[in-house]
Amino acid sequence: MRRLRLARLFFRATWHPWSFLARAAYSGSRLDTVLGFYGPLSLLLLVCVWASVLIFGFGMLYWALGSSLALPDRIGGFGADLYMSGTTFFTLGLGDVRPVTVGARAVTVAEAGMGFGFLALVVAYLPALNQSFSRREANISMLDARAGSPPTAVRMLEKHNQEGGMDEIRVLLFQWEQWSAELLESHLSYPVLGYYRSQHDNQSWLAALTVVLDTSALVLAGIEGVCTRQAEMTFAIARHAVVDIAAVFNEPPRRREKDRLGEEGLKVLKERLGAAGLKLAEDREAERRFRRLRASYEPYVYALARYFRFSVPPWIPEPGKPGDWEVSLWEQTDPLDRDAVHREWENNHFR
């Protein structure tokens, strides 16, 4: 989190130009795809930057020791020091340039060990990163059927109050409490994961975290008969995650001119919850608490959404819009009418 960090400078210097050029050239889902390339590519480039800096640093050490190297006639100067450093770091062992003093030989041994250690760290780092990404995305993928595309708190509560009622919602909040804790730890340990975008349309780790906070805030605001204690625990760790991740990327909280919910939206929200058997408290204290809870996390969500170019999910799902799981690339009719879809596919390919 300190300002003078090579990795921090690298991501600050590359992410903003990348996102600016992508937004200038693309829009919609294509823009999201191009922005998604940045995460894996930046990680590979960061490894190259670290290797280059280490090679340059050891080259400076050879130079400081007086370039005490046995050289062929065609090589000389600081270029020879860099060449010696590069072949030693990658343990090539060519032998055309070699150290001739005790100090130069000690630096050569140290750099060769550094090269092996660097390779071992890279080999261990990439699988750990991939595992953290996979665990994060597994739960995000389930949001499509559980909370819609994009996910919303209203749809999540509607879906989970149909059969098990309060017990189902309690289990849901407990599961997302664990997910939020894993998200916090993984994105503090590996901040580059923040740039890894979901492979599903209308989904992102920030949208999932926002819906967890929205759902917990609704429950805490006064939904009668709902598990308030579990909602408190889930809200606490989810807010902790969004605040700390914003701090890692040095994004202060931001305010929106237009309220994400608004008065009309709040009325619709209450109607939707009432139709699903969930009644939101009508007293002023509940409304004040709801506003206070939202104000404690929404500015951080807006800041991260602006930095990563994510869309902030709405509170209420768009009426009549099917989830991504209900449609496919080829479907132009009723998404669940499989016979019609099959007939259309045959007409397109065998006529």
Q: If you search the block for the tokens 């590069």, which residue do you land on?
A: 86
The pTM assigned to this predicted structure is 0.84
What is the distance of C-alpha 22 from the center of its chain?
18
Report the amino acid identity of residue 275.
A
**End-to-end CA distance of the chain, in Å?**
61
15, 168, 336, 340 from 333: Cα distances, Å: 40, 33, 8, 7
Check: CB of residue 173 under 8 Å from CB of residue 227.
yes
pLDDT given at position 164: 58
Identify the H or E element spanning 169. Answer: helix 166-189
Encoding tokens for residue 227? 């598990």
Q: Quick: pLDDT tens for 54-78.
A: 999 999 999 999 888 887 766 668 8
CATH number of 6-123: 1.10.287.70
Collapsing DSSP to helix, strand or coil, 259 comes out as coil
User: What tens digit of pLDDT does each residue of 281-309 get?
Assistant: 878 888 899 999 999 999 999 999 999 99
Under a CB-based contact definition with an 8 Å cutoff, are residues 174 and 224 in contact? no
3-state helix, strand, coil in the chain (%, to 5): 70, 0, 30
Query: What are the tokens at 96?
Result: 């055309």
pLDDT tens figures, 85-113:
999 999 887 888 889 899 999 999 999 99
Of 103-107, 121-125, 326-330, where does the model show the most confidence? Answer: 103-107
**CATH 1.10.287.70 residue window(s) in the chain:** 6-123
